[in-house]
């Protein structure tokens, strides 16, 4: 990621955190209900009970909170490029593991890698950058990957958010594994991709 993109992302989310605090709006979800719907879709990738899970773009640790609310026990780790999010997440959930990092610095493997909203911010060469993220996340998974994106058919690109053609994303994912499932029936402007190790 270019330094200018990273600075823009940090400023964008740090400003939101100052305004909204420990709220879904700090990570730019419209509310906790739609955030929870996305988490529910992601977690249908598999039975995650007692699995190791890496949450890429973990924000304030809300996916960990979702696991607790659903009584799903996981070996959880969260990463985010926004240090202020990591600090706040660790305060909220001291028993969970959080660190300020991007996916390209991760060397460990996890049973499943999950990413909610981590591929939505417009950056230079968004498609190439986010497709390389998908590959790296899949490489870090032992069993599978689940991530969501904005659906180009329902959400147009702008200065802040980038959306994708489902068929194009699916075709790319199938260059990494034949076992790809796409779900798009939970929110009109979103889709979730499951990728499994063969």
Instruction: Give φ, ψ of 114 to 5 degrees.
Output: -125, 145
CA proximity to 144, closest of 74, 195, 109, 77: 195
Counting residues of the chain whose pLDDT is more than 90, the rounded percentage is 63
Q: Is the pLDDT of residue 122 over 80?
A: no
Confidence of residue 158 (pLDDT cuts 50, 70, 90): low
Domains of the chain: 3-196 (3.40.50.150)
pTM metric for this prediction? 0.88
Composition of the chain by helix, strand, coil, percent to 5:
40, 25, 35
pLDDT tens digits, one per residue of 70-83: 999 999 999 998 88
Check whether 65 has a pLDDT greater than 80: yes
Give the model confidence (pLDDT) of 2-45 as tens digits.
667 677 666 666 666 665 666 555 555 555 778 899 999 999 99
Q: What is the mean pLDDT of the chain?
A: 88
Confidence label for 114 from pLDDT (cuts 50, 70 and 90): very high
């Amino acid at each position: 990621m270019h330094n200018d993109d990273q600075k823009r992302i940090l400023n964008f989310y740090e400003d939101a955190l100052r305004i909204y605090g420990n709220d879904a709006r700090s990570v730019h979800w419209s509310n906790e209900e739609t955030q929870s719907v996305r988490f529910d879709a992601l977690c249908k990738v598999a039975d995650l009970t007692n699995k190791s899970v890496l949450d890429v773009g973990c924000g304030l640790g809300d996916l960990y909170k979702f696991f607790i609310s659903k009584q799903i026990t996981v070996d959880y780790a969260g990463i985010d490029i926004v240090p202020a999010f990591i600090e706040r997440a660790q305060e909220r959930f001291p028993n969970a593991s959080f660190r300020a990092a991007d996916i390209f610095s991760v060397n460990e493997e996890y049973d499943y890698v999950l990413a909610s909203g981590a591929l939505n911010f417009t950056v230079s060469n968004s498609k190439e950058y986010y497709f390389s993220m998908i590959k790296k996340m899949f490489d870090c998974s032992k069993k599978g990957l689940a991530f969501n994106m904005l659906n180009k058919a329902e959400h147009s690109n702008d200065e802040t958010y980038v959306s994708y053609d489902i068929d194009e994303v699916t075709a790319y994912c199938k260059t990494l594994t034949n076992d790809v499932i796409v779900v798009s029936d939970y929110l009109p402007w979103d889709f979730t991709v499951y990728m499994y190790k063969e």
